[in-house]
Copies of this chain bind each other. A is one copy, B any other.
Amino acid sequence: MSKQKTAIAPTRAENYSEWYQGVLKAADLAEHSPVRGCMIIKPWGYGIWENIQKILDGMIKDTGHQNAYFPLFIPLSFLEKEAQHIEGFAKECAIVTHHRLEKNKEGKLIPAGELEEPLIVRPTSEMIIGHAFAKWVESYRDLPLLINQWANVVRWEMRTRMFLRTTEFLWQEGHTVHATREEAEVEAKKMLDVYVDFCHRYLALPVISGEKTPSERFPGAVDTYTIEAMTQDRKALQAGTSHFLGQNFSKSCGIEFQTVDGSKEYGWTTSWGVTTRLIGGLIMAHSDDDGLVLPPRIAPTHLIIIPIIHDESNRSKILDYCENLSRSVKHHRCGNEPIKVFIDKRDLRGGEKSWGWIKKGAPLRLEVGLREIEEGKLSLFRRDKPHKERISLSAKELEEKIVSILDEMQSDLLKKATRFREEHTKKIDKLSDFHEFFSAKGDEIHGGFALCHWNGDPAIEAKVKEEHGVTIRCIPRGVPSEEGRCLFTGEKSPRRVIFAKAY
């Protein structure tokens, strides 16, 4: 059997990791920069991020939060105030030590103006925001304090991969203070639910939500909640986290408030964030061997119209027709946003244009030539269907049906990703099955999410990680508790947790 030609080589099955890089390049989403581990997000990739920002920002505001902006730099002494926190971030801090360049005797520019105290480029902002909150919060009347920030952060990671783990990345970080433990716990879970809802409805990402084990918690957190997506190589991708911080950061930052009865108490805080990593998750969940596949609700452009002009004398007739089509659909909506249309008038062959947009993952393509206009039959192509499969419709039908076609594509992608995850999620109750599940046969894609009983012992967790490269991704929420025996020790276990290889 001859091999089908694909736009991306190698394919997912051949080499998943190179396929991922190939999709990024073919879709022109991002590229490496000359700065170690930092990427350049190109317009098509940044367009996705702008949509993520816009939609999620609305959801964050709808739940009562306000945006603000805090400094990029954090004095070293601030980070040190919370012992676990600094412990967790010390190894990956970009440090500003000087504030001027000066020529030395050889005429070479060198750092000068050494700072009295080094400044850390924020890896996260709990300590600098906490310092401000300590001044903003005086009484229970000031609570809850619900703040969000859109910002860039820097973590000096040793191994980087575009969108998934970069030295600098973009994110939002929510930081809140509450009068009671219960309220802060509710907030941390509520924002996790906002992330779940956003991933399902807009990214078509069927994430699983749950609680992290103590060894996987955010440095300084009491509880860390997570959403985990499954990639097409059946690994877990942590796609967002929400932390209940107890009074740990309040105590180290001095966030105290006067209670209703006049006593002083430390506030209960949370923090939560999602990053440009979501774009990596999006690519890994939906894309195929011909490139990116974008869920319509997050796509920078929904419909690409490709004019097919064989004879120059028809140019203006065909272009006018395309403009009319564009106008007819633009006042309809995909999700909350107006449908965006691009008429690709570039001086390239039609096939070249079509393949360009297939690789970029544009949800719908329409080819419009003289024949289509005269016959009144247009050919519409859905990116998630085989490339030759066309929807034949009139201009009027396009206008009437485009919203439902986009909605159907959106829900089909979610269904497909959900089915994929379900197919590769297994309850495992025998150690040999566990070994089998996570063992590669050559380079073949294998494994998935293993639902197993575990005795709660971090030592066992560490051993499994050591031996199999497999970690506990989360203790899933919303799953009925089920008595069982720890897969590794035979001890009693109250419920299953999810084991998987992870990005």
Q: Which residues of A contact B (CB under 8 A)?
A: 31, 33-35, 38-43, 46-47, 49-50, 66-76, 78, 80, 86, 90-102, 109, 111, 113, 118-121, 128, 131-132, 135, 141, 147, 151-152, 154, 156, 168, 170, 347
B-side contacts of A131, CB under 8 Å: 34
CB-based nearest B residue for A98: B95
Q: A33-B70, A33-B71, A95-B96 are in contact. Are A76 and B109 (CB under 8 A)?
A: yes
Of the candidates B35, B39, B78, B120, the one whose C-beta lies within 8 Å of that of A75 is B35
Of the candidates B74, B109, B121, the one whose C-beta lies within 8 Å of that of A96 is B121
CB-based nearest B residue for A121: B96
- What is the distance, in angstroms, from A316's C-beta to the closest C-beta of chain B? 22
Q: A94-B96, A99-B93 are in contact. Are A46 and B68 (CB under 8 A)?
A: yes
Of the candidates B33, B72, B101, B147, the one whose C-beta lies within 8 Å of that of A95 is B101
B-side contacts of A93, CB under 8 Å: 99-101
- What is the distance, in angstroms, from A327's C-beta to the closest C-beta of chain B? 17
- What is the distance, in angstroms, from A167's C-beta to the closest C-beta of chain B? 8
- Do residues A99 and B109 form an inter-chain contact, with CB atoms below 8 A? no
Q: A95-B98, A121-B121 are in contact. Are A71 and B147 (CB under 8 A)?
A: no
- Do residues B97 and A111 form an inter-chain contact, with CB atoms below 8 A? yes
B-side contacts of A147, CB under 8 Å: 43
- Do residues A80 and B96 form an inter-chain contact, with CB atoms below 8 A? no
- Do residues A46 and B69 form an inter-chain contact, with CB atoms below 8 A? yes
Of the candidates B33, B70, B120, the one whose C-beta lies within 8 Å of that of A132 is B33
Interface centre among A74, A97, A151 (most CB of B within 10 A): A97
Q: A99-B92, A101-B95 are in contact. Are A46 and B71 (CB under 8 A)?
A: no
Q: A35-B75, A40-B71, A43-B147 are in contact. List 16 more A-B contacts (CB 8 A).
A: A34-B78, A35-B74, A38-B72, A38-B73, A40-B69, A40-B70, A41-B69, A46-B67, A46-B68, A47-B67, A73-B94, A90-B100, A96-B97, A97-B111, A113-B156, A151-B152
Can you list 8 A-B contacts with CB-CB less than 8 angstroms, sorted by A residue number?
A: A31-B132, A33-B128, A40-B69, A40-B70, A72-B121, A94-B98, A94-B119, A95-B96
Interface centre among A41, A68, A118 (most CB of B within 10 A): A68
Interface centre among A91, A93, A120 (most CB of B within 10 A): A93
- Do residues B95 and A111 form an inter-chain contact, with CB atoms below 8 A? yes
- What is the distance, in angstroms, from A360's C-beta to the closest C-beta of chain B? 14
CB-based nearest B residue for A80: B109
- What is the distance, in angstroms, from A352's C-beta to the closest C-beta of chain B? 13
A156 to B170, CA, bound (A): 23
B-side contacts of A347, CB under 8 Å: 141
A16 to B282, CA, bound (A): 52
B-side contacts of A151, CB under 8 Å: 152
- What is the distance, in angstroms, from A51's C-beta to the closest C-beta of chain B? 12
- Do residues A156 and B38 form an inter-chain contact, with CB atoms below 8 A? no
Of the candidates B35, B66, B91, the one whose C-beta lies within 8 Å of that of A119 is B35
CB-based nearest B residue for A78: B34
Q: A70-B40, A72-B168, A95-B97 are in contact. Are A118 and B128 (CB under 8 A)?
A: no
CB-based nearest B residue for A69: B41
- Do residues A67 and B38 form an inter-chain contact, with CB atoms below 8 A? no
- What is the distance, in angstroms, from A89's C-beta to the closest C-beta of chain B? 8
- What is the distance, in angstroms, from A269's C-beta to the closest C-beta of chain B? 17
- Do residues A101 and B72 form an inter-chain contact, with CB atoms below 8 A? no
Of the candidates B47, B100, B168, the one whose C-beta lies within 8 Å of that of A73 is B168
A40 to B71, CA, bound (A): 6
- Do residues A35 and B71 form an inter-chain contact, with CB atoms below 8 A? yes
- Do residues A99 and B34 form an inter-chain contact, with CB atoms below 8 A? no
CB-based nearest B residue for A146: B43
B-side contacts of A98, CB under 8 Å: 94-95, 97, 118
- What is the distance, in angstroms, from A266's C-beta to the closest C-beta of chain B? 20
CB-based nearest B residue for A66: B43
**Top 4 A-B pairs, shortest CB-CB distance:** A38-B71, A43-B66, A41-B69, A90-B101
B-side contacts of A111, CB under 8 Å: 95, 97, 118
A94 to B154, CA, bound (A): 15
- Do residues A35 and B95 form an inter-chain contact, with CB atoms below 8 A? no
- Do residues A170 and B69 form an inter-chain contact, with CB atoms below 8 A? yes
Of the candidates B99, B120, B132, B152, the one whose C-beta lies within 8 Å of that of A156 is B99
